[in-house]
């Protein structure tokens, strides 16, 4: 019987080494490498597809660049460009206004009438005072010193010394939002009366520029309209807020710039019709020595009635210039202004910084004096009325 040859130790080592599995066939090494490769490929593909399909930078619809001509360096602010609100449609022209088509004709008080007698009200039964809840303290209101009784006269633009000619005051509302058109309004011949919205931009510089040009300025205080879906803007006066909050908002509105003679109402058909709310506002205006110009946005306005009762100097709007924003319509309204001024000795017209209004008014101003009218600030009409009642 043949003997099986014995393997040498060296042959055993060679046979064992030949039986090893290559590294690329080992699962614990290959699987992590494959997973990492798939992950990197996925990230790369996702990034590439995202860049290819990403939309471009959107173009805003409400703000578009407007050409700005050379401006007076003293009037324009330093620093970054101011925001500009552009009119992109006819409906956008009403964004800061109530609809003027439905506004009433002015209710002109007799300038020679005595103030109406105070309204006598039945006494209200006294109720025991209630302690304020500790968990809901009211905000503290810092005490204020009373202003001089005729502070408005310090900022009134002088009118004609002695004149029997009919006086016309042109008021431009809603200034301070659209910077380009607000500057164009300031550049019109003086004296105009410019009403600045307290939530506008760059108001202090704008007020200084307006006064430097010879214009008179007012605070265009936002007040609640009858249509509550129309937003009059931040810190608007609303009768439901209660006296403390109304006064806080009024104080904020009056603190955004200075040099003004008083206020007129922005919108406000709901608020100005509320007698108690207007008594609150008029009492504060009297304490501060300011005037009130009633824009008459409702036939039920209590504004100038309460002002007369409390002895607050006041004026009343006669004509809206641009309830139709069209050149010929604005010219017709200016003709009404002239007729009103001839009939009662003065007229107050309110316009807005629309392109059409600015163009027609600039044209009208060139010949107004030659046609026998004095262009005056609102304060001149107030002074004439006060002089007639003394």
Residue length, the chain? 390
pLDDT score of 387: 87
Please give the domain boundaries of the chain with CATH numbers for all domains: 151-156+164-389 (3.20.20.370)
Q: Range with the lowest mean pLDDT among 38-47, 205-214, 314-323?
A: 38-47
pLDDT in the model for residue 227: 92
The pLDDT value given to residue 216: 99
**The predicted structure's pLDDT at residue 291:** 98
- C-alpha 61/C-alpha 206 separation (Å) is 26
* Alpha carbons 83 and 118: distance in angstroms, whole number: 47
* pLDDT value, residue 80: 29
Position 108 pLDDT exceeds 80: no
**pTM of model > 0.85:** no
Please choose, from the candidates 362, 365, 383, the residue with its C-alpha nearest in 3D space to the C-alpha of residue 373.
Answer: 365
pLDDT band at 89 (very low <50, low <70, confident <90, very high): very low
User: Which two tokens mark 170?
Assistant: 């042109």
Beta partners for residue 360, in sequence order: none
Please, are residues 201 and 83 in contact by the beta-carbon 8 Å criterion? yes
Residue 54 · residue 179 · CB < 8 Å = no
Confidence check: pLDDT of 98 > 50 = no
- Which has more confidence, 70 or 262? 262
* CA–CA distance, 171 with 347 (Å, rounded to integer): 11
Radius of gyration of the chain (CA): 36
**121-163 pLDDT tens trace:** 334 333 333 333 333 333 333 334 445 668 999 999 998 776 7
CB atoms within 10 A of CB 174: 23
Cα separations in angstroms, 362 against 66, 125, 212, 302, 365: 21, 58, 19, 33, 5
Give 322 or 387, the one with higher predicted confidence: 322
Q: What pLDDT score was predicted for residue 58? A: 41
**What confidence tens digit (pLDDT) does each residue in 199-228 have?**
999 999 999 999 999 999 999 999 999 998
């Amino acid at each position: 019987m043949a003997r099986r040859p014995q393997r040498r130790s060296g042959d055993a080592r060679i046979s064992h080494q030949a039986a090893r599995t290559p590294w690329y066939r080992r699962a614990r090494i290959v699987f992590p490498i494959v997973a990492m490769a798939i992950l990197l490929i996925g990230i790369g593909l996702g990034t590439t597809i995202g860049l290819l399909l990403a939309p471009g930078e959107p173009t805003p619809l409400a703000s578009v660049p407007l050409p700005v001509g050379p401006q007076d360096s003293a009037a324009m602010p330093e620093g970054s460009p101011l925001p500009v609100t552009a009119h992109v449609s006819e409906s956008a022209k009403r964004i800061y206004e109530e609809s003027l088509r439905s506004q009433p004709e002015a209710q002109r008080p007799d300038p020679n009438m005595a103030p109406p007698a105070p309204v006598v009200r039945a006494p209200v039964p006294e109720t025991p005072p209630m302690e304020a809840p500790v968990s809901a303290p009211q905000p503290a209101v810092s005490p204020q010193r009373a202003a001089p009784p005729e502070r408005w006269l310090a900022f009134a633009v002088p009118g004609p010394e002695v004149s029997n000619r009919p006086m016309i005051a042109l008021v431009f509302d809603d200034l301070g939002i659209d910077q380009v058109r607000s500057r164009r309004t300031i550049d019109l011949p003086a004296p105009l009366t410019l009403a600045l919205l307290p939530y506008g931009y760059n108001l202090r510089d704008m007020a200084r520029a307006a006064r430097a040009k010879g214009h008179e300025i007012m605070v265009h205080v936002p007040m609640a309209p009858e249509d509550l879906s129309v937003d009059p803007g931040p810190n608007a006066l609303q009768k439901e807020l209660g006296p403390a909050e109304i006064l806080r908002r009024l104080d904020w509105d009056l603190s955004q710039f200075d040099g003004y003679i008083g206020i007129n109402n922005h919108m406000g058909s709901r608020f100005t019709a509320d007698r108690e709310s207007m008594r609150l506002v008029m009492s504060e205006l009297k304490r501060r020595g300011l005037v009130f110009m009633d824009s008459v946005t409702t036939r039920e306005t209590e504004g100038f009635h309460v002002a007369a009762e409390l002895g607050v100097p006041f004026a009343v709007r006669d004509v809206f210039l641009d309830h139709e924003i069209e050149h010929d319509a604005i010219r017709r309204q200016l003709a009404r202004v002239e007729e009103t001024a001839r009939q009662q000795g003065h007229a107050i017209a309110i316009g807005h910084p629309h392109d059409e209004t600015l163009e027609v008014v600039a044209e009208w101003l060139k010949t107004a004096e030659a046609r026998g009218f004095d262009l005056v600030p609102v304060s001149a009409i107030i002074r004439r009325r006060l002089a007639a009642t003394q």
